Amino acid sequence: MFLSSVGFSIVIMSIWPYLQKIDQTADASFLGWVIASFSLGQMVASPIFGLWSNYRPRKEPLIVSIFISVAANCLYAYVHVPASHNKYYMLVARGLVGFGAGNVAVIRSYIAGATSLQERTSSMANTSACQALGFILGPASTDEVQVPQGNIDQVAVVATNVLFFVVLFIFALFETIVTPLTMDMYAWTREQAVLYDGIILAALGVEAVIIFMGIKLLSKKIGERAILLGGFIVVWVGFFILLPWGNQFPKIQWEDLHNNSIPNTTFGEIIITLWKSPREDHSEGPTGCPVEQAWCFYTPMIHLAQFLTSAVLIGIGYPSCNVMSYTLYSKILGPKPQGVYMGWLTASGSAARILGPVFISQLYTSLGPRWAFSLVCGIVVLAILLLVVVYKRLVAFSVRHGRIQE
C-alpha cells in the first residue's frame, strides 16, 4: 500500500502538465477521462483479484498485479515517443496502472482474515497510514475456520458501499480539480502548479498519517460510526468553504482573446480585464483563467486562504471516512471469506474514481466552481442523510447476532 501510494503521488499532480505537453489537442475534459481510466481499470480488476484470492494463495494475484503495474508505468513514461495520438496512449497506460492497483481488494481481504474483531480497526488504520505515508515521499491464512451461522445484513453492505463510493468520489474530484483550479485562479505556470500542488498533497499526506494514528485511539472512545459521521460533516464544511464570493475576479488568459471563441461579454468588460491583467513572460504559455471558460468573467476567484483551509478540512475528513467505512464494512461481513465482498467495495470505490474526475472536469469547465462545488455539497448532504438512516445497522456481525456486546 505504501509503494503503490508513492507511485500514485509522483504521477497524479503532473498528469495535466504532462498531457498538455505531449498532445496539444488534449483539453481539461480529456484530463477527466485520463484520471478516470485509472479507476476504470481498478474497478474491473478488483472483483477478479478478490475472487482469485478466495480460491488461490493471495500471493498469486499480488505478484501478477505488481508486474502489470510496472509494465503500465513504463508505458506511461514513454507516451511522449509516438508521433501522434499520444493522449490515447496515456489513457491506456493509466487504465493499466489502475488494473494493477486492483490488488487493494486482496490486501484488505487478507487483513480482514488475519485479524480479530478487536484488532481490525487498528490494523486497517495502520495500513491506511502506510498508504498515506506514501503520499509524502505475507503469509496466507491457510487454516480452516468454522464459519458461524447467520446472515449478513445486506442493507448495511449496500449502504456501506454507497458511502464508500461517495468518499472516493469527493476525493477523486478534489485531486482532479486541484491543478486546473490553482492554475486558473492564481495564474500559476505548469511548473508552479506541479511544485505547489505537490507540496500541498505531501502536507495532506502528513495530515492523514496523524489522523490515522489518532483514529485508533478515538474509535475506542466514540466508535467507528460517530467518526464516519463526523468525517462527512468536516468534508461538507471543506467544500462549502470553496464556494466563490467577493468582487475579485481571476486573471484572464489575455493572449487567447485573439481567437474567435470569445464568450458573450461587453467590449468594455474585456478591456477592463486586459487592463487589470499583468503582462508577464509566458515562456510556458499563457497563465490565468482560459477565455473559453465564460464563467471566468463573472465568477469571483477562490482566494488562496479559502483553498488552503478547504484542503486542510478535506484532509481531515477524507481519511476519517475512508478508514472507517471499510473498517465497518469488514466487521459487518464477519468472519466469512471476504475476497469477493472486498472486491465489490473496491470496485465501488473505483467507480467513484471514474465518475468523480469526469463529473468535476465537465462541470467545472462548463459552469465553473460555484455550480461544481455546490453540487458536491449536495452529494455529501445526501450521504450524511443515508448514514443517519442506517446508523443503527452498521454494527459488527457478531454484535448483530448477539454473540458479543457492542
Give the CATH number, domain containing residue 341.
1.20.1250.20
In the predicted model, residues of the chain with pLDDT beneath 50 are 138-140, 142-148, 256-282, 404-406
Average pLDDT, the chain: 79
Which pLDDT value is given to residue 232?
94
Residue 90 lies in a domain: yes
> Do 103 and 194 sit in the same domain of this protein?
yes
> Do 380 and 262 sit in the same domain of this protein?
no
> Do 81 and 177 sit in the same domain of this protein?
yes
- 143: helix, coil or strand? coil
Residue 270 lies in a domain: yes
Which pLDDT value is given to residue 150?
61
Residue 406 lies in a domain: no
> Do 103 and 191 sit in the same domain of this protein?
yes
> Do 237 and 114 sit in the same domain of this protein?
yes
pTM (two decimals): 0.63
Which pLDDT value is given to residue 311?
92
Residue 148 lies in a domain: no
> Do 275 and 368 sit in the same domain of this protein?
no
Residue 360 lies in a domain: yes
> Do 260 and 393 sit in the same domain of this protein?
no
Residue 109 lies in a domain: yes
Residue 405 lies in a domain: no
Domain carrying residue 379: 2-140+153-247+299-400
> Do 228 and 358 sit in the same domain of this protein?
yes
Q: Locate cell 472483483: which residue?
A: 47
Judged on CB neighbours under 10 Å (0-12, 13-18, 19+), 147 is exposed
Which pLDDT value is given to residue 296?
86
> Do 393 and 339 sit in the same domain of this protein?
yes
Model pLDDT for residues 1-52, shown as the tens digit of each residue:
888 777 777 777 677 778 878 887 877 667 767 877 887 888 788 888 888 8
Which pLDDT value is given to residue 357?
82
Q: Which of 239, 269, 297 is the last residue of a domain?
A: 297
Q: Which of 297, 330, 358 is the last residue of a domain?
A: 297
| Nine cell digits for residue 212 | 490515522
**In 56-153, alpha helices (H):** 59-77, 86-100, 104-114, 117-133
Distance CA 226, CA 324 (A): 9
Which pLDDT value is given to residue 384?
95
Q: Which of 282, 297, 312 is the last residue of a domain?
A: 297
> Do 265 and 120 sit in the same domain of this protein?
no
Question: b/e for 187-197, b at 16 or more Cβ within 10 A?
Answer: bbbbeebbebb
CA distances to 167, 229, 238, 262, 381 from 386, in Å: 13, 10, 20, 43, 9
> Do 289 and 172 sit in the same domain of this protein?
no
Looking at the structure of the chain, the number of domains it has is: 2
Residue 217 lies in a domain: yes
Which pLDDT value is given to residue 275?
41
> Do 191 and 339 sit in the same domain of this protein?
yes
